Amino acid sequence: MLAQADAFLTRVRAAASKVRDLSRLSDWICAYTTHPKDTSAPWSFEDHEMQVEIANCDAPKACVRKCSQVGLSELSVRIVLGLLNIYTNSTAIYTLPTTNFARKFAKARIDSVISGSEVLSASVNKDNDSSELKQLAGSFLYISGSFGQTSAISVPADFLIRDEVDFSNQVALSTFASRLGHAENGGITRDFSTPTVEKYGISDKYDNSTQARYVVKCDSCGKKVAPEFLNDVIIPGYDEEISKLEKSDLINPKYDINGAFVACPSCHNPLTQANLCDASKREWVHAYERGTRDYIGYQVYPYDVPKVNPVPKTLRALDEYKKKADWVNFKVGVTYEDAETSFLEEAIDRGTCLDWVMPRELAAAGCVFAMDVGKVSHMLVGKRSGVYLDVIHAERVRETGEGEVFERAYELMRMYGVVKGVIDAGPDFSTALKLITKGYHNQVFACYYVRSTRTSLANLDVKEVDQVINANRTGTLDETARAANKGQIRYARMEESATIKAHLRALKRVETDNAAGERVGSWIKTDDDHYSHTLNYLKIADSMVDYRGAKAPVPATPMMGKLKLKSVSSQPPESELIS
């Protein structure tokens, strides 16, 4: 009863104050919640001291880019419950990737914290106590998935906690953020996630933050340092970078995995377990001053909770993951890209080795053509050379309403002797239709991106009569990236080279949870990516040509009687279309 009285007085003081002081939230968590594994013991930050500043952060926006197994999911639940308990008649939304995930999380994590707290359990309104909505005295907590049902998407809120940001529906997360529009001072937002790729999700937010690191004062040199796991972890006997570590290396007797340690970036001596565990020698240091960035941001490494995550244990966890990228994301807590998740910069640089074939009459023959249609349309011309698809010309054309894009595309197709062309069917199908009509039968195809094709094992569904292709967006981009990273796509050195490279590098593959809770891959843009899709269309056009001794068809005067155009009916169902 005394605890409930104290909690009530805390709420009264908060309600009387016009300034929301969040800087003592860690005290409330310790006073009114219990240990997750022993509800008879109070919550403690022992061995997790790095969480205190995160809990007490009083900025409107904060983000945490983290590894797994550092207790931040437990903390995020206590943060939102603390806010709702202290600030009366408030509303919070807690998001997770999917509805099923959210329901399980509510039962396993949120309900257990409430039931273990005398103050919180006494404040629950039993009429509003489900896995989607909880009422605590006069405050409300909505728990929602970003995929599937989003019942809280129209609810005005004061607090928004977005957990597992990188695996959530980014559009839905933005919509949830708009629900803080009427909150005092714009409300409070807290974002937590393991990262995936650069410039996406939590990493994009962290890059826009104060970029705090939990530094350690080195026992050897006395300097405060912020070691990087992939740079400063040392395995005795192993001379490569940690990013090159493979599962087979874990059982190689030449490498002392059990003796692995974090080296001081300054003096290169070991940062011992005792050194890392000494909370008096640890503190958060921000790279940028508050107010200069959108977020207060924290990077959490496994050795920021060293007793739970000793270095050898973290290294051996590589054996638990099918993909190294997942190990780096989840166990190390940083971004990672490889041939499966991006167009590699070194492959692009190495492949940019050809001479440009300037547009002119009879510039080439037997080529393929692709175009990504927009206000500025991006065009590529390619030619098969043995195992290589050579990109020999690129250009951008702005449409002003005078038909410039169509005229230039048709001119390029004629000069390069194009035998197959694939044109983006959206957002304006008319350009593709004009080129289909102008060319000879099956020379040009309009392409729609879809989630799946009629044949699940094929990435393309070609309708020759209509001259339309339904292309599995993820599957075809996977194939194009694979070919590019293997060096099977080469590029001419030309004016557009830098832009092509930038667009390819802006496309990243991530895996998120769909509404059914299944992990699915998709390619997302982190910046302008038009040439990426143009290259994908070029690869599709190339795949439709038999280069094994077959002669290219000779262009002839268009014969309209051979065409059967169904520009509307041939479009796949809207539910299957992907922009």
Q: Over the stretch 271-288, which tens digit does the pLDDT of each residue have?
A: 999 999 999 999 999 999
φ/ψ (deg, to 5) at 471: -110, 130
Task: Name the nearest CA neighbour of 191 among 319, 115, 93, 89.
Answer: 93
CA distance 393 to 491: 8
Query: Within 10 Å of residue 457's Cβ, how many Cβ atoms?
Result: 6
pLDDT values of the chain reduced to their tens digit, one per residue, 579 residues: 455 555 554 544 444 333 356 789 999 999 999 998 888 899 999 999 999 999 999 999 999 999 999 999 999 999 999 999 999 899 999 999 999 999 999 999 999 999 999 999 999 999 999 999 999 999 999 999 988 656 667 789 999 999 999 999 898 999 999 888 777 778 999 999 999 999 999 999 999 999 999 999 999 999 999 999 999 999 999 999 999 999 999 999 999 999 999 999 999 999 999 999 999 999 999 999 999 999 999 999 999 999 999 999 999 999 999 999 999 999 999 999 999 999 999 999 999 999 999 999 999 999 999 999 999 999 999 999 999 999 999 999 999 989 999 999 999 999 999 999 999 997 778 899 999 999 888 899 999 999 877 765 589 999 988 999 999 999 999 999 999 999 999 999 999 999 999 999 999 999 877 767 677 889 999 999 999 999 999 999 999 997 333 344 444 444 333 344 444 445 676 556 676
Where do the domains of the chain lie, and which CATH numbers do they carry?
Answer: 2-207 (3.40.50.300), 220-286+302-332 (no CATH), 345-576 (3.30.420.240)
Q: Over the stretch 473-516, which tens digit does the pLDDT of each residue have?
A: 999 999 999 999 999 999 999 999 999 999 999 999 998 777 67
> Identity (one letter) of the amino acid at 40?
S
First and final C-alpha spacing in the chain: 57
Is 189 in contact with 163 (CB distance < 8 Å)?
A: no
φ/ψ (deg, to 5) at 424: -55, 125
Residue 93: which residues within 8 A CB-CB, separation 6 or more?
Answer: 141, 142, 144, 152, 155, 157, 159, 160, 161, 176, 179
Q: Write out the DSSP string of 35-47.
A: ETTEEEEE---TT
Q: Over the stretch 10-32, which tens digit does the pLDDT of each residue have?
A: 544 444 333 356 789 999 999 99
Which two three-digit tokens encode residue 572? 């796949």
Any idea what DSSP says for residue 560?
G
Three-state SS sequence of 111-179: HHHHHCCHHHHHHEEEEEECCCEEEECCEEEEEEEEECCCHHHHCCCCEEEEECHHHCCHHHHHHHHHH
Q: How far is CA 172 from the centre of its chain?
A: 14
CA distance 145 to 463: 38
